[in-house]
Structure 1
Amino acid sequence: MSRTMVIFSVLMLLALPVLGVSTAAADSLDITPYEIIAPERIQQEPFRPRAWYAERGGVEVQEPSLICLIVDLDSQDPVYLDSVPVWKIEPYDTIKATFDEADPAPAVYEITFWAENNWPINISYPPLVDTFYYKVGITETPVPGEFNLDPVSPDPTTRSVTVSFSLGHPTEITLSVYDLTGKTVTRLASGTWKQGRHCVRWNTSDAPPGVYFVRLTTPGFSASRKVVLLN
């Protein structure tokens, strides 16, 4: 080993306590989120993301950061990121993290909670990930009497359903069905559609019973409607 590498290794060992890591537990840092308090799976109001974290490595961790990220499931674009600094967390202690208010556009989102030490390196094994619907059935920029997504009919149902919507002018659309995990079940329509009223049938024969969401998206407008499939 070169002299330079020896000096670097010694400096890193001396620095570990300052960085909040004991030399005996440098590989034992584990602050893992285990319960999401907010948002709810179907969230209708602006909210402050909240989650419970636990120290599971049995060591004191100084100056960790608890982090929350929200990503639009359709575009995969991040829409929210916040970090809560903590002075220290004792061995096996729990802590509730409350982040700044989130008020994204109506859509289906993936939310992730994790922790980092002050290097920063992830110390959550694993991060906590979930999906939620925000302001379901509420439009982003509605134009009364022009753009609209009607309630799905019939609902609840044991058979195919009709999805009706109106467009104020010719535009690109995406009409998709999602399950409660945020997974796309089927795409009912896409491409450029003309102005006016339209109806699309969803054949539910291949979908298991459960709660689903039909979402219409155009540039400047989106809306979602819930539908329940019975046995």
Structure 2
Amino acid sequence: MTTSEALDTIFSFIPDNILNSFKKRGLYDPILSGQINSSADIYPRLTSAQAIWQNTDYSYLSKILIKYLHHGSILEIGCGSGNLIENLAQFKFKPIYGLDHSRAMIRLAKKRLKNYGQVYLISGKIEDYNFQKMAGINNVIINNFWGLLNKRASIKLLLDIKLNLKGKLIIGPIYEEIPTKIKLAADYLAKNLHFNYSYPLFTNFKQLGYQEKTIEVDGAKYYILSSNI
């Protein structure tokens, strides 16, 4: 496996024609030069054109999640371009907050959600966010984000949420096994470029005082967590 093949593998969720266009514009350059060392560091560098491919349809997921959410407010961590927020807003959850480190993603989310009331979008790094601003939040959702933080940062985030959460924390999707090609590519990049595609997933939520149950959505696990305090 070459470096180029490894990078193509971990970005294989992007359609080939779009990925080739992004590569010509330097998508891989910060990784190859050592300027960034984790997947999380890519997002602040995305242009609006590069961010637009993340356009997953979350209508099915939202219909499942609302069965477990408390009515009221929601904070989505890593909200991207606002796809999931848009679906949840249609079920009358208010207010809804979205936090993302990518300014390009936040710009897209603002366009998508401009006609929805009580939706507030925040550009910032989750490690720096003051969760006391969200004291009493009814629900927190971490979707397609878990694994972008190392263990220490993940635990700190979970404890910060726990102190301010009234209702449910939902984390997912978490797959039992990483596809072999992705794992080999990630191992190659970690060894040769010191680049972390995904940190080990912290899932010992009970240790931190959470009550948990799990549900399965399209072959992936979602954790439904609530605080014991």
Same fold at TM > 0.5: no
Q: Which has the higher helix share?
A: 2
TM-score (norm 1): 0.19
TM-score (norm 2): 0.19
Q: Which has the higher strand share?
A: 1
